[in-house]
């Protein structure tokens, strides 16, 4: 996958050179696609809404970067400008590109954009939708996951850890399962490649807290301590 950089007044777009699109900021807006008669689906996702649009190059996921926590009250979707290559969208696109080329189960990156407004900027990302995939949190609210499924999840996380991939928000919402039960990982905002260390354990603890949290918030969630034990069996074995 080769990078293609497109500059425009006040911003820039980084894209997969293989995607033959005459890129503009409008491509990152759901309204742009609706205005051209394209099918667009909006769904809640993380700290905002993600939009799915059917294109000639497959189904794309449009995501606008938004802040979480208390700071979102004041800045919402604005970030401090520190240079083009340090924008959240460019950094996540390049990390996804690297992971995709390593064969790890991540969404294929399509394009990333930023627009500068003085000392701040806003950012957007487009990835290819994973067919049939849905968050682990949603799956567990509807059905139990077999032991093999939990072991697969553990092996998946182990693959990322062995590659030195630190995920800043490893939760049951960012782990996906496709129709065949294969796990995927998405949302690498603030993720990075790190030397091996104690962060692996803290990453796993973050996931366990997430599973416990969704269990408390939704009594129908199918999660028990034995499930975590099976996840760790998969993690401790050789990566699948």
> What's the pLDDT tens digit per position in 15-26?
999 999 999 999
Confidence of residue 46 (pLDDT cuts 50, 70, 90): low
- For the four alpha carbons of 61, 68, 235 and 211, in that order, the dihedral sign comes to negative
Average pLDDT taken over every residue of the chain? 93
Confidence of residue 126 (pLDDT cuts 50, 70, 90): very high
Which segments of 118-238 does DSSP mark as H helices, in order? Answer: 136-142, 147-162, 199-217, 225-236
> What's the pLDDT tens digit per position in 90-105?
999 999 999 999 999 9
Confidence of residue 45 (pLDDT cuts 50, 70, 90): low
Confidence of residue 72 (pLDDT cuts 50, 70, 90): very low
> What's the pLDDT tens digit per position in 206-217?
999 999 999 999
- Residue positions annotated with a catalytic role: 169
The CATH class given to the 134-236 domain equals mainly alpha
How confident is the model at residue 130, as a pLDDT? Answer: 95
Stretch 119-142: mean pLDDT: 96
Give percent of the chain above pLDDT 70. Answer: 94
Stretch 70-83: mean pLDDT: 77
Stretch 73-92: mean pLDDT: 90
Q: Are the beta carbons of 87 and 121 closer than 8 angstroms?
A: yes
Residue with tokens 């790190």: 194
DSSP structure string for 90-118: HHHHHHHHHHHHTT-S-PPEEEEEEEEET
With 50 as the cut, is the pLDDT of residue 164 above it? yes
């Amino acid at each position: 996958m080769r990078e293609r950089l497109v500059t425009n007044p006040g911003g820039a777009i980084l894209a997969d050179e293989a995607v033959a699109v005459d890129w503009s900021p409008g491509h990152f807006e759901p309204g742009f696609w609706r205005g051209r008669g394209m099918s667009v689906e909006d769904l809640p996702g993380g700290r905002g809404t993600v939009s799915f649009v059917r294109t000639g190059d497959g189904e794309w996921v449009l995501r606008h970067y938004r802040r979480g926590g208390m700071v979102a009250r004041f800045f919402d979707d604005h970030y401090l400008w520190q240079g083009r290559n340090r924008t959240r969208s460019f950094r996540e696109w390049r990390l996804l590109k690297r992971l995709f080329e390593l064969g790890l189960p991540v969404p294929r990156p399509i394009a990333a954009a930023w627009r500068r407004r003085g000392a701040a900027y806003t950012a957007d990302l487009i990835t290819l939708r994973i067919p049939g995939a849905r968050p682990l949190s949603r799956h567990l609210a509807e059905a139990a996951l077999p032991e093999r499924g939990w072991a697969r999840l553990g092996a998946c996380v182990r693959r990322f850890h062995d590659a030195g991939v630190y995920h800043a928000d490893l939760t049951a919402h960012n782990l996906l399962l496709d129709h065949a039960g294969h796990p995927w990982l998405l949302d690498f905002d603030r993720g990075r490649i790190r030397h091996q260390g104690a962060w692996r354990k803290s990453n796993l603890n973050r996931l366990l807290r997430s599973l416990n949290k969704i269990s408390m918030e939704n009594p129908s969630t199918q999660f028990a301590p034995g499930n975590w034990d099976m996840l760790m069996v998969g993690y401790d074995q050789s990566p699948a």
